[in-house]
Chains A and B, each alone.
Chain A
Amino acid sequence: MSFWELYGNKLLVAVGVHFLYVFASVASGFVVALTLGILLSRVPGIAKVALPLISVFQTIPGVVFIGILFLYMGMVPATAIIALAIYAVFPILKNTYAGLLSVDSSLLEAARGCGMSKIQSLFEVELPLAMPSIIGGLRMSTVYTVSWAVLASMIGLGGLGEFIYIGIATNNNALIVAGAIPAGIMAISLSLAIDFVKRRITRQGREVSLK
Chain B
Amino acid sequence: MIRFEQVTKKYGDSVILDNLSFEIKEGEFAVLIGPSGCGKTTTLKSINRLIEPDTGHIYVNGKDISQTDPVQLRRQTGYVIQQIGLFPNMTVAQNIGVVPKRLKYPKEKILDITRSLMDMVGMSYEEYGHKYPSELSGGQQQRIGVLRALAASPPLVLMDEPFGALDPMTRNSLQDEISRLHKKLNKTFVFVTHDMDEALKLADKIIFMENGKIVQMATPEEMLENPASDLIRTFMGKRAEGSPASALTAADFMRPDPVSVYKSRGIRECTEIMARRQIDSLLIKNDDDTYAGVVTVGGIKKASKSTGTIGEVPVSENAVSYVSESAMESFDKLLNTNSSYVVVLHEDDTIAGIVTKTSMAKAMADALWGDGQ
Which residues of A does B touch, CB under 8 Å? 104, 106-107, 109-117, 120, 124-125, 128-129, 203-206, 208-210
Contact = CB atoms under 8 A, between A and B. Distances in A.
Contacts, number: 75
Interface in B77-134: 79, 81, 83-89, 98-99, 102, 131-134
A106 B162 CA distance: 13
A110 B88 CA distance: 12
Nearest to B85: A110
Given A113-B74, A115-B71, A107 B134 contact: no
Name A's interface SS. helix
B50 A206 contact: no
Interface string B119-153: 00000000000011111000000000000100000
A112 B85 contact: no
Nearest to A111: B87
Interface in B309-348: none
Nearest to B83: A106
B57 interface: no
B89 A129 contact: yes
A125 to B, nearest CB: 6
A66 B88 CA distance: 43
B88 A209 contact: yes
B238 interface: no
Nearest first, the 5 closest Cβ-Cβ pairs linking A and B are A205-B132, A110-B85, A115-B75, A113-B79, A106-B83
A202 to B, nearest CB: 9
Contacts of A117: 71
Contacts of A129: 88-89
24 contacts: A106-B83, A106-B85, A107-B88, A109-B81, A110-B87, A111-B87, A113-B50, A113-B74, A113-B81, A114-B79, A114-B98, A115-B71, A115-B74, A115-B99, A116-B98, A117-B71, A125-B87, A204-B132, A205-B133, A205-B135, A206-B88, A206-B89, A208-B134, A210-B88
A210 to B, nearest CB: 7
From B73, B81, B89, B98, name the one whose CB has the most chain A CB atoms within 10 angstroms. B89
A107 B85 contact: yes
Contacts of B83: 104, 106, 110
B94 to A, nearest CB: 10
B134 A206 contact: yes
B133 A209 contact: yes
B48 interface: yes
A209 B135 CA distance: 9
A115 B88 contact: no
Nearest to B133: A209
Name B's interface SS. mixed
B358 interface: no
A116 B81 contact: no
A110 B96 CA distance: 12
Nearest to B130: A205
B246 interface: no
From A106, A203, A205, name the one whose CB has the most chain B CB atoms within 10 angstroms. A205
A109 B71 contact: no
B132 A112 contact: no
Given A115-B71, A116-B98, A125-B89, 4 more contacts: A104-B83, A112-B74, A203-B89, A203-B132
B72 interface: yes
A116 B85 contact: no
Nearest to A127: B89
A115 B72 contact: yes
From A111, A113, A205, A206, name the one whose CB has the most chain B CB atoms within 10 angstroms. A113
B132 A114 contact: no
Nearest to A129: B89
B147 to A, nearest CB: 12
Nearest to B135: A205
B48 A113 contact: yes
B102 A114 contact: yes
Nearest to A207: B134
B69 to A, nearest CB: 10
Nearest to B74: A115
B102 A112 contact: no
A41 B75 CA distance: 26
A73 B81 CA distance: 56
Contact of A116 (B102, B131, B134, B135): B102
Contacts of B50: 109, 112-113
Contacts of A210: 88
Contacts of B88: 107, 129, 205-206, 209-210
Contacts of B133: 205, 209
From B72, B75, B85, B133, name the one whose CB has the most chain A CB atoms within 10 angstroms. B85
